[in-house]
Structure 1
Protein backbone atom coordinates (compact mmCIF):
# COMPACT_ATOMS: atom_id res chain seq x y z
CA UNK A 1 0.00 0.00 0.00
CA UNK A 2 1.04 3.58 -0.69
CA UNK A 3 0.97 6.45 1.80
CA UNK A 4 0.05 9.74 0.08
CA UNK A 5 1.54 12.44 2.31
CA UNK A 6 0.32 15.58 0.52
CA UNK A 7 -2.89 16.11 -1.47
CA UNK A 8 -5.66 18.70 -1.82
CA UNK A 9 -8.88 16.76 -2.41
CA UNK A 10 -10.94 19.68 -1.15
CA UNK A 11 -9.84 21.58 -4.29
CA UNK A 12 -12.66 22.60 -6.66
CA UNK A 13 -11.07 20.48 -9.40
CA UNK A 14 -12.46 17.44 -7.54
CA UNK A 15 -15.97 18.81 -7.05
CA UNK A 16 -17.57 16.55 -9.68
CA UNK A 17 -16.14 13.20 -8.58
CA UNK A 18 -14.53 13.65 -5.14
CA UNK A 19 -16.53 10.95 -3.36
CA UNK A 20 -16.21 8.30 -6.07
CA UNK A 21 -12.48 8.99 -6.39
CA UNK A 22 -11.83 8.73 -2.66
CA UNK A 23 -14.10 5.70 -2.33
CA UNK A 24 -11.84 3.88 -4.80
CA UNK A 25 -8.50 4.83 -3.27
CA UNK A 26 -7.86 1.82 -1.08
CA UNK A 27 -8.83 -0.60 -3.81
CA UNK A 28 -6.28 1.24 -6.00
CA UNK A 29 -3.56 0.63 -3.41
CA UNK A 30 -3.59 4.01 -1.66
CA UNK A 31 -3.76 3.17 2.04
CA UNK A 32 -3.60 6.58 3.69
CA UNK A 33 -3.88 10.19 2.56
CA UNK A 34 -3.05 13.43 4.34
CA UNK A 35 -5.10 16.31 2.97
CA UNK A 36 -3.18 19.54 3.44
CA UNK A 37 -4.57 22.89 4.52
CA UNK A 38 -3.43 25.84 2.39
CA UNK A 39 -5.58 28.57 3.93
CA UNK A 40 -8.28 28.89 6.59
CA UNK A 41 -11.06 27.48 4.40
CA UNK A 42 -9.04 24.50 3.16
CA UNK A 43 -7.89 23.72 6.70
CA UNK A 44 -11.56 23.40 7.67
CA UNK A 45 -12.44 21.35 4.57
CA UNK A 46 -9.40 19.09 5.06
CA UNK A 47 -10.58 18.29 8.58
CA UNK A 48 -14.09 17.64 7.23
CA UNK A 49 -12.68 15.13 4.73
CA UNK A 50 -10.68 13.46 7.48
CA UNK A 51 -13.87 13.15 9.53
CA UNK A 52 -15.65 11.56 6.57
CA UNK A 53 -12.99 8.99 5.57
CA UNK A 54 -11.17 6.78 8.09
CA UNK A 55 -8.02 6.62 5.93
CA UNK A 56 -7.81 10.40 5.37
CA UNK A 57 -5.99 12.70 7.79
CA UNK A 58 -5.50 16.46 7.76
CA UNK A 59 -2.89 19.16 8.16
CA UNK A 60 -3.86 22.60 9.46
CA UNK A 61 -1.98 25.60 8.12
CA UNK A 62 -1.82 28.68 5.93
CA UNK A 63 0.29 28.75 2.76
CA UNK A 64 2.66 31.74 2.48
CA UNK A 65 0.70 33.17 -0.45
CA UNK A 66 -2.32 33.41 1.87
CA UNK A 67 -0.44 34.75 4.89
CA UNK A 68 -2.57 37.91 4.65
CA UNK A 69 -5.46 35.88 6.10
CA UNK A 70 -3.66 35.56 9.40
CA UNK A 71 -4.10 37.82 12.39
CA UNK A 72 -4.27 37.08 16.11
CA UNK A 73 -7.91 36.00 15.91
CA UNK A 74 -7.54 33.68 12.90
CA UNK A 75 -4.26 32.34 14.28
CA UNK A 76 -6.05 31.39 17.50
CA UNK A 77 -8.66 29.56 15.41
CA UNK A 78 -5.89 27.72 13.57
CA UNK A 79 -4.43 26.61 16.88
CA UNK A 80 -7.81 25.22 17.90
CA UNK A 81 -8.06 23.22 14.65
CA UNK A 82 -4.61 21.78 15.31
CA UNK A 83 -6.03 19.96 18.33
CA UNK A 84 -8.46 17.90 16.22
CA UNK A 85 -7.74 14.19 16.66
CA UNK A 86 -7.06 13.65 12.92
CA UNK A 87 -4.80 16.66 12.40
CA UNK A 88 -1.29 15.24 12.05
CA UNK A 89 0.73 18.32 11.03
CA UNK A 90 0.87 22.08 10.71
CA UNK A 91 1.01 22.91 7.02
CA UNK A 92 1.52 23.83 4.45
CA UNK A 93 3.57 26.75 5.70
CA UNK A 94 6.72 28.51 4.56
CA UNK A 95 7.84 31.05 1.99
CA UNK A 96 6.89 31.62 -1.64
CA UNK A 97 8.76 34.38 -3.46
CA UNK A 98 7.80 33.20 -6.96
CA UNK A 99 4.67 35.34 -7.03
CA UNK A 100 5.43 37.73 -4.19
CA UNK A 101 8.00 40.45 -4.93
CA UNK A 102 6.95 43.08 -2.37
CA UNK A 103 9.45 43.19 0.56
CA UNK A 104 6.72 43.97 3.11
CA UNK A 105 4.61 41.03 1.98
CA UNK A 106 7.67 38.77 2.11
CA UNK A 107 8.35 39.96 5.65
CA UNK A 108 4.76 39.07 6.53
CA UNK A 109 5.27 35.58 5.09
CA UNK A 110 8.35 35.19 7.25
CA UNK A 111 6.55 36.37 10.37
CA UNK A 112 3.69 33.89 10.00
CA UNK A 113 6.05 31.11 8.99
CA UNK A 114 7.79 31.55 12.33
CA UNK A 115 4.52 31.77 14.22
CA UNK A 116 3.17 28.60 12.62
CA UNK A 117 6.44 26.78 13.27
CA UNK A 118 6.12 27.64 16.92
CA UNK A 119 2.47 26.59 16.90
CA UNK A 120 3.69 23.18 15.72
CA UNK A 121 6.23 23.12 18.54
CA UNK A 122 3.49 23.97 21.04
CA UNK A 123 1.10 21.32 19.70
CA UNK A 124 3.89 18.74 19.30
CA UNK A 125 3.16 18.32 15.59
CA UNK A 126 5.52 18.13 12.58
CA UNK A 127 5.37 20.79 9.87
CA UNK A 128 4.87 20.66 6.12
CA UNK A 129 7.16 23.26 4.51
CA UNK A 130 6.37 24.97 1.21
CA UNK A 131 9.41 26.80 -0.17
CA UNK A 132 9.54 28.26 -3.66
CA UNK A 133 12.26 30.62 -4.89
CA UNK A 134 13.11 31.25 -1.23
CA UNK A 135 15.84 28.74 -0.46
CA UNK A 136 18.13 30.89 1.69
CA UNK A 137 15.44 32.60 3.76
CA UNK A 138 13.62 29.31 4.39
CA UNK A 139 16.79 27.61 5.57
CA UNK A 140 17.86 30.59 7.69
CA UNK A 141 14.49 30.66 9.47
CA UNK A 142 14.55 26.89 9.87
CA UNK A 143 17.88 27.12 11.67
CA UNK A 144 16.91 30.15 13.77
CA UNK A 145 13.67 28.48 14.89
CA UNK A 146 15.45 25.17 15.59
CA UNK A 147 13.53 23.13 13.03
CA UNK A 148 15.38 20.01 14.16
CA UNK A 149 13.31 20.15 17.37
CA UNK A 150 10.02 20.29 15.42
CA UNK A 151 10.48 17.91 12.48
CA UNK A 152 8.43 17.33 9.36
CA UNK A 153 8.82 17.43 5.59
CA UNK A 154 10.00 19.80 2.89
CA UNK A 155 7.10 19.39 0.50
CA UNK A 156 7.78 19.08 -3.24
CA UNK A 157 11.51 19.34 -2.65
CA UNK A 158 13.01 21.35 -5.50
CA UNK A 159 16.42 22.52 -4.33
CA UNK A 160 19.98 21.18 -4.68
CA UNK A 161 21.74 18.22 -3.09
CA UNK A 162 23.58 20.71 -0.86
CA UNK A 163 20.28 22.12 0.37
CA UNK A 164 18.88 18.62 0.84
CA UNK A 165 21.88 17.82 3.01
CA UNK A 166 21.07 20.77 5.28
CA UNK A 167 17.50 19.57 5.85
CA UNK A 168 18.46 15.93 6.21
CA UNK A 169 20.97 16.94 8.87
CA UNK A 170 18.05 18.52 10.74
CA UNK A 171 16.17 15.22 10.62
CA UNK A 172 13.67 16.38 7.99
CA UNK A 173 12.00 14.26 5.34
CA UNK A 174 11.86 15.17 1.64
CA UNK A 175 8.54 15.03 -0.23
CA UNK A 176 8.95 13.45 -3.67
CA UNK A 177 6.22 13.60 -6.31
CA UNK A 178 5.49 13.69 -10.01
CA UNK A 179 8.25 16.16 -10.87
CA UNK A 180 10.72 13.28 -10.48
CA UNK A 181 9.35 11.76 -13.70
CA UNK A 182 9.97 14.90 -15.80
CA UNK A 183 12.79 15.02 -18.34
CA UNK A 184 14.18 18.24 -16.85
CA UNK A 185 14.28 16.87 -13.28
CA UNK A 186 18.03 16.21 -13.25
CA UNK A 187 18.64 17.99 -9.93
CA UNK A 188 15.77 16.24 -8.18
CA UNK A 189 17.01 12.87 -9.44
CA UNK A 190 20.41 13.71 -7.96
CA UNK A 191 18.71 14.53 -4.65
CA UNK A 192 16.79 11.23 -4.63
CA UNK A 193 19.99 9.36 -5.45
CA UNK A 194 21.80 11.15 -2.60
CA UNK A 195 19.13 11.01 0.11
CA UNK A 196 18.78 7.89 2.26
CA UNK A 197 15.60 5.92 1.56
CA UNK A 198 14.48 6.33 5.16
CA UNK A 199 14.10 10.10 4.59
CA UNK A 200 11.89 10.05 1.48
CA UNK A 201 8.09 10.22 1.45
CA UNK A 202 5.63 10.04 -1.44
CA UNK A 203 3.30 12.88 -2.39
CA UNK A 204 1.32 14.18 -5.35
CA UNK A 205 0.19 17.73 -4.46
CA UNK A 206 -3.01 16.66 -6.25
CA UNK A 207 -4.57 18.07 -8.36
CA UNK A 208 -1.20 19.51 -9.45
CA UNK A 209 2.19 18.21 -10.67
CA UNK A 210 0.91 15.12 -12.47
CA UNK A 211 3.68 12.64 -13.33
CA UNK A 212 4.56 11.37 -16.77
CA UNK A 213 2.80 9.75 -18.65
CA UNK A 214 -0.26 11.70 -17.49
CA UNK A 215 1.38 15.11 -17.27
CA UNK A 216 -1.07 17.86 -18.23
CA UNK A 217 -4.07 16.06 -16.72
CA UNK A 218 -5.52 16.44 -13.24
CA UNK A 219 -3.40 14.59 -10.70
CA UNK A 220 -4.57 12.12 -8.08
CA UNK A 221 -2.94 9.73 -5.64
CA UNK A 222 -3.58 6.92 -8.08
CA UNK A 223 -0.67 8.25 -10.13
CA UNK A 224 1.80 7.58 -7.31
CA UNK A 225 2.95 4.22 -8.75
CA UNK A 226 4.77 6.23 -11.45
CA UNK A 227 6.72 8.05 -8.74
CA UNK A 228 7.37 4.75 -6.96
CA UNK A 229 8.81 3.29 -10.18
CA UNK A 230 11.06 6.33 -10.70
CA UNK A 231 12.46 6.08 -7.17
CA UNK A 232 12.94 2.32 -7.48
CA UNK A 233 14.92 2.80 -10.68
CA UNK A 234 17.19 5.44 -9.14
CA UNK A 235 17.74 3.47 -5.94
CA UNK A 236 18.07 0.05 -7.56
CA UNK A 237 15.40 -1.54 -5.37
CA UNK A 238 11.94 -3.02 -5.99
CA UNK A 239 8.76 -0.99 -6.16
CA UNK A 240 7.44 -2.94 -3.15
CA UNK A 241 10.49 -1.89 -1.15
CA UNK A 242 9.84 1.75 -2.07
CA UNK A 243 6.19 1.45 -1.02
CA UNK A 244 7.02 -0.30 2.26
CA UNK A 245 9.86 2.02 3.25
CA UNK A 246 8.04 5.24 2.36
CA UNK A 247 4.96 4.01 4.25
CA UNK A 248 7.04 3.50 7.36
CA UNK A 249 8.71 6.88 6.84
CA UNK A 250 5.37 8.68 6.55
CA UNK A 251 4.00 6.99 9.65
CA UNK A 252 7.08 8.09 11.61
CA UNK A 253 7.04 11.59 10.17
CA UNK A 254 3.39 12.17 11.04
CA UNK A 255 3.80 10.36 14.40
CA UNK A 256 0.99 7.93 13.68
CA UNK A 257 0.46 4.30 14.60
CA UNK A 258 1.17 1.64 11.98
Structure 2
Protein backbone atom coordinates (compact mmCIF):
# COMPACT_ATOMS: atom_id res chain seq x y z
CA UNK A 1 0.00 0.00 0.00
CA UNK A 2 1.24 3.48 -0.93
CA UNK A 3 -0.01 6.63 0.80
CA UNK A 4 0.63 10.28 -0.04
CA UNK A 5 0.61 11.75 3.46
CA UNK A 6 0.55 15.39 2.34
CA UNK A 7 -0.83 16.90 -0.86
CA UNK A 8 -2.94 19.89 -1.88
CA UNK A 9 -5.52 18.45 -4.25
CA UNK A 10 -7.41 21.74 -4.44
CA UNK A 11 -4.32 23.39 -5.96
CA UNK A 12 -3.16 20.86 -8.55
CA UNK A 13 -2.35 21.91 -12.09
CA UNK A 14 -4.97 19.93 -14.01
CA UNK A 15 -4.10 21.07 -17.54
CA UNK A 16 -2.90 17.59 -18.49
CA UNK A 17 -6.21 16.14 -17.31
CA UNK A 18 -8.54 18.53 -19.15
CA UNK A 19 -9.09 20.44 -15.94
CA UNK A 20 -10.54 17.41 -14.18
CA UNK A 21 -9.35 16.41 -10.71
CA UNK A 22 -10.55 12.87 -11.33
CA UNK A 23 -7.85 12.53 -13.97
CA UNK A 24 -5.10 13.34 -11.47
CA UNK A 25 -6.66 11.00 -8.91
CA UNK A 26 -6.88 8.18 -11.46
CA UNK A 27 -3.22 8.73 -12.31
CA UNK A 28 -2.32 8.42 -8.62
CA UNK A 29 -4.33 5.24 -8.23
CA UNK A 30 -2.67 3.77 -11.31
CA UNK A 31 0.68 4.36 -9.58
CA UNK A 32 -0.53 2.35 -6.60
CA UNK A 33 -1.57 5.21 -4.32
CA UNK A 34 -4.28 3.87 -2.02
CA UNK A 35 -4.88 6.96 0.11
CA UNK A 36 -4.19 10.70 0.04
CA UNK A 37 -4.28 13.33 2.78
CA UNK A 38 -5.45 16.65 1.30
CA UNK A 39 -4.01 19.35 3.54
CA UNK A 40 -5.73 22.66 4.21
CA UNK A 41 -3.65 25.85 4.20
CA UNK A 42 -6.30 28.58 4.57
CA UNK A 43 -9.66 28.66 6.26
CA UNK A 44 -11.36 30.35 3.32
CA UNK A 45 -10.53 27.27 1.24
CA UNK A 46 -11.39 24.68 3.88
CA UNK A 47 -14.75 23.91 2.33
CA UNK A 48 -13.08 23.15 -1.02
CA UNK A 49 -10.65 20.77 0.68
CA UNK A 50 -13.43 19.11 2.67
CA UNK A 51 -15.61 18.73 -0.42
CA UNK A 52 -12.86 16.82 -2.22
CA UNK A 53 -12.46 14.47 0.74
CA UNK A 54 -16.20 13.95 1.05
CA UNK A 55 -16.45 12.84 -2.57
CA UNK A 56 -13.74 10.16 -2.37
CA UNK A 57 -13.35 7.24 0.01
CA UNK A 58 -9.57 7.23 -0.41
CA UNK A 59 -9.05 10.88 0.57
CA UNK A 60 -8.89 12.43 4.03
CA UNK A 61 -8.30 16.09 4.87
CA UNK A 62 -7.07 18.48 7.54
CA UNK A 63 -8.07 21.94 8.77
CA UNK A 64 -5.63 24.76 9.44
CA UNK A 65 -3.81 27.90 8.33
CA UNK A 66 -0.34 27.92 6.78
CA UNK A 67 2.01 30.32 8.62
CA UNK A 68 2.56 32.45 5.51
CA UNK A 69 -1.14 33.13 4.88
CA UNK A 70 -2.79 36.39 5.93
CA UNK A 71 -5.48 34.45 7.76
CA UNK A 72 -2.87 33.34 10.30
CA UNK A 73 -3.75 36.38 12.42
CA UNK A 74 -7.36 35.22 12.72
CA UNK A 75 -6.69 31.67 13.92
CA UNK A 76 -9.47 30.61 16.27
CA UNK A 77 -9.13 27.52 18.48
CA UNK A 78 -12.87 26.93 18.80
CA UNK A 79 -13.39 27.13 15.05
CA UNK A 80 -10.61 24.63 14.40
CA UNK A 81 -11.97 22.21 16.98
CA UNK A 82 -15.49 22.51 15.60
CA UNK A 83 -14.41 21.83 12.02
CA UNK A 84 -12.21 18.96 13.19
CA UNK A 85 -15.30 17.06 14.32
CA UNK A 86 -16.13 16.19 10.72
CA UNK A 87 -15.42 12.49 10.02
CA UNK A 88 -13.16 13.34 7.08
CA UNK A 89 -10.93 15.73 9.05
CA UNK A 90 -8.07 13.65 10.47
CA UNK A 91 -5.52 16.31 11.45
CA UNK A 92 -4.99 19.94 12.42
CA UNK A 93 -2.80 22.03 10.11
CA UNK A 94 -0.76 22.70 8.30
CA UNK A 95 0.58 25.22 10.74
CA UNK A 96 4.00 26.12 12.04
CA UNK A 97 6.72 28.69 11.50
CA UNK A 98 8.39 29.98 8.35
CA UNK A 99 11.11 32.58 8.87
CA UNK A 100 12.62 32.00 5.43
CA UNK A 101 10.05 33.81 3.31
CA UNK A 102 9.01 36.38 5.89
CA UNK A 103 11.75 37.83 8.03
CA UNK A 104 9.68 40.50 9.80
CA UNK A 105 9.75 40.02 13.61
CA UNK A 106 6.13 41.23 13.90
CA UNK A 107 5.02 38.53 11.47
CA UNK A 108 6.98 35.93 13.42
CA UNK A 109 4.95 36.82 16.50
CA UNK A 110 1.71 36.30 14.57
CA UNK A 111 2.97 32.94 13.30
CA UNK A 112 3.92 31.86 16.80
CA UNK A 113 0.52 32.82 18.19
CA UNK A 114 -1.27 30.92 15.44
CA UNK A 115 1.00 27.90 15.87
CA UNK A 116 0.20 27.76 19.58
CA UNK A 117 -3.53 27.94 18.86
CA UNK A 118 -3.30 25.09 16.38
CA UNK A 119 -1.54 22.91 18.95
CA UNK A 120 -4.16 23.79 21.54
CA UNK A 121 -6.89 22.85 19.06
CA UNK A 122 -5.14 19.57 18.23
CA UNK A 123 -4.95 18.66 21.92
CA UNK A 124 -8.61 19.49 22.40
CA UNK A 125 -9.68 17.58 19.30
CA UNK A 126 -7.32 14.69 20.04
CA UNK A 127 -5.92 14.85 16.51
CA UNK A 128 -2.32 14.99 15.28
CA UNK A 129 -0.83 18.24 14.02
CA UNK A 130 0.87 18.84 10.67
CA UNK A 131 3.84 21.18 11.10
CA UNK A 132 5.54 23.33 8.48
CA UNK A 133 8.91 24.61 9.66
CA UNK A 134 11.62 26.49 7.82
CA UNK A 135 14.54 28.44 9.30
CA UNK A 136 12.78 28.36 12.68
CA UNK A 137 14.25 25.30 14.34
CA UNK A 138 14.62 26.55 17.91
CA UNK A 139 11.26 28.34 18.08
CA UNK A 140 9.42 25.40 16.52
CA UNK A 141 10.70 22.89 19.07
CA UNK A 142 10.27 25.34 21.96
CA UNK A 143 6.62 25.98 21.13
CA UNK A 144 5.90 22.27 20.62
CA UNK A 145 7.27 21.62 24.10
CA UNK A 146 5.59 24.60 25.79
CA UNK A 147 2.19 23.71 24.33
CA UNK A 148 2.51 20.01 25.24
CA UNK A 149 2.37 18.84 21.65
CA UNK A 150 3.47 15.39 22.75
CA UNK A 151 -0.17 14.88 23.77
CA UNK A 152 -1.49 15.17 20.22
CA UNK A 153 1.61 14.12 18.29
CA UNK A 154 2.07 14.95 14.66
CA UNK A 155 4.52 15.26 11.81
CA UNK A 156 7.16 17.68 10.61
CA UNK A 157 6.17 17.63 6.96
CA UNK A 158 8.38 18.20 3.92
CA UNK A 159 11.37 18.03 6.23
CA UNK A 160 14.50 19.99 5.23
CA UNK A 161 16.10 20.71 8.59
CA UNK A 162 18.85 19.13 10.69
CA UNK A 163 19.08 15.69 12.27
CA UNK A 164 19.18 17.38 15.68
CA UNK A 165 15.82 18.98 15.02
CA UNK A 166 14.37 15.71 13.76
CA UNK A 167 15.58 13.96 16.92
CA UNK A 168 14.09 16.66 19.15
CA UNK A 169 10.73 16.28 17.38
CA UNK A 170 10.84 12.49 17.54
CA UNK A 171 11.43 12.71 21.30
CA UNK A 172 8.00 14.37 21.43
CA UNK A 173 6.51 11.50 19.45
CA UNK A 174 6.53 13.25 16.09
CA UNK A 175 7.08 11.68 12.69
CA UNK A 176 9.38 13.04 9.97
CA UNK A 177 8.01 13.25 6.42
CA UNK A 178 10.18 13.40 3.31
CA UNK A 179 9.06 14.93 0.02
CA UNK A 180 10.59 15.10 -3.45
CA UNK A 181 13.26 17.45 -2.09
CA UNK A 182 15.17 14.41 -0.86
CA UNK A 183 15.73 13.43 -4.52
CA UNK A 184 17.22 16.79 -5.53
CA UNK A 185 20.86 16.87 -6.60
CA UNK A 186 21.86 19.37 -3.91
CA UNK A 187 20.09 17.58 -1.04
CA UNK A 188 22.87 15.27 0.18
CA UNK A 189 22.65 16.64 3.73
CA UNK A 190 18.95 15.88 3.80
CA UNK A 191 19.60 12.39 2.46
CA UNK A 192 21.96 11.82 5.38
CA UNK A 193 19.18 12.84 7.75
CA UNK A 194 16.73 10.52 6.01
CA UNK A 195 19.10 7.56 6.38
CA UNK A 196 19.30 8.18 10.13
CA UNK A 197 15.60 8.64 10.89
CA UNK A 198 14.23 5.36 12.31
CA UNK A 199 11.92 3.54 9.93
CA UNK A 200 9.04 3.63 12.40
CA UNK A 201 9.11 7.45 12.28
CA UNK A 202 9.22 8.01 8.49
CA UNK A 203 6.42 9.23 6.24
CA UNK A 204 6.53 10.10 2.55
CA UNK A 205 4.62 12.78 0.69
CA UNK A 206 4.48 14.86 -2.47
CA UNK A 207 3.36 18.26 -1.15
CA UNK A 208 1.90 18.48 -4.66
CA UNK A 209 1.57 20.62 -6.68
CA UNK A 210 4.93 21.78 -5.35
CA UNK A 211 8.42 20.21 -5.32
CA UNK A 212 8.11 17.47 -7.93
CA UNK A 213 10.72 14.75 -7.36
CA UNK A 214 13.36 13.62 -9.83
CA UNK A 215 12.71 12.59 -12.62
CA UNK A 216 9.77 15.03 -12.77
CA UNK A 217 11.72 18.06 -11.51
CA UNK A 218 10.47 21.24 -13.17
CA UNK A 219 6.97 19.88 -13.71
CA UNK A 220 3.92 20.51 -11.56
CA UNK A 221 3.86 17.84 -8.88
CA UNK A 222 1.14 15.19 -8.67
CA UNK A 223 0.15 12.78 -5.87
CA UNK A 224 1.07 9.88 -8.16
CA UNK A 225 4.71 10.98 -7.96
CA UNK A 226 4.85 9.81 -4.33
CA UNK A 227 5.89 6.52 -5.91
CA UNK A 228 9.18 8.13 -6.95
CA UNK A 229 9.73 9.51 -3.45
CA UNK A 230 9.01 6.09 -1.99
CA UNK A 231 11.45 4.31 -4.29
CA UNK A 232 14.18 6.84 -3.52
CA UNK A 233 13.71 6.60 0.26
CA UNK A 234 13.63 2.80 0.00
CA UNK A 235 17.01 2.86 -1.75
CA UNK A 236 18.46 5.16 0.93
CA UNK A 237 17.47 2.65 3.60
CA UNK A 238 18.43 -0.45 1.64
CA UNK A 239 14.85 -1.67 1.49
CA UNK A 240 12.68 -2.98 -1.27
CA UNK A 241 10.07 -0.59 -2.57
CA UNK A 242 7.30 -2.78 -1.20
CA UNK A 243 8.88 -2.88 2.26
CA UNK A 244 9.08 0.91 2.33
CA UNK A 245 5.45 1.23 1.21
CA UNK A 246 4.29 -1.11 3.96
CA UNK A 247 6.34 0.67 6.63
CA UNK A 248 5.22 4.19 5.71
CA UNK A 249 1.59 3.12 5.31
CA UNK A 250 1.64 1.55 8.76
CA UNK A 251 3.19 4.72 10.17
CA UNK A 252 0.54 6.85 8.47
CA UNK A 253 -2.30 4.78 9.89
CA UNK A 254 -0.77 4.86 13.35
CA UNK A 255 -0.47 8.66 13.31
CA UNK A 256 -3.64 9.56 11.40
CA UNK A 257 -5.75 6.90 13.04
CA UNK A 258 -9.00 8.66 12.14
CA UNK A 259 -8.31 8.08 8.44
CA UNK A 260 -10.38 5.33 6.87
CA UNK A 261 -7.70 3.53 4.88
CA UNK A 262 -8.67 0.37 3.06
Q: Classify the TM-score, shorter chain.
A: over 0.9
- 2:167 paired residue number: 165
Over 4 Å off, 4+ runs = none
Deviations 1:101-134 (A, max 9, x none): 2211110110010011100000000000001111
Q: Within 2, Cα distance between the matches of 1:193 and 1:12?
A: 30
How many residue pairs match? The answer is 257
Alignment of 1:170-185 (within 5 A): 170-185=172-187
- 1:44 paired residue number: 47
Q: Within 2, Cα distance between the matches of 1:12 and 1:156?
A: 17
Shift of 1:70: 4.2
Q: Is the 8 A contact 2:43 2:71 kept in 1?
A: no
Q: Within 2, Cα distance between the matches of 1:41 and 1:238?
A: 41
SS at match of 1:13: coil
Q: Within 2, Cα distance between the matches of 1:219 and 1:252?
A: 26
- 2:225 paired residue number: 223
Alignment of 1:169-208 (within 5 A): 169-208=171-210
- 2:213 paired residue number: 211
SS at match of 2:244: helix
Alignment of 1:222-241 (within 5 A): 222-241=224-243
Relative CO higher for 1 or 2, CA cutoff 8 Å, sep ≥ 6? 2
Alignment of 1:19-168 (within 5 A): 19-71=22-74, 75-168=77-170
Q: Within 1, Cα distance between the matches of 2:254 and 2:144?
A: 20
Q: Within 2, Cα distance between the matches of 1:91 and 1:4?
A: 16
Shift of 1:67: 5.0
Q: Is the 8 A contact 1:40 1:78 kept in 2?
A: no
Distance 1:105 1:87, change over 3 A: same
SS at match of 1:10: helix
Shift of 1:178: 0.4
Distance 1:202 1:164, change over 3 A: same
Q: Within 1, Cα distance between the matches of 2:176 and 2:45?
A: 23
SS at match of 1:149: coil
Any gaps of 5 or more consecutive residues in structure 1?
A: none
SS at match of 1:25: helix
- 2:7 paired residue number: 7
Shift of 1:69: 4.8
Shift of 1:55: 0.4
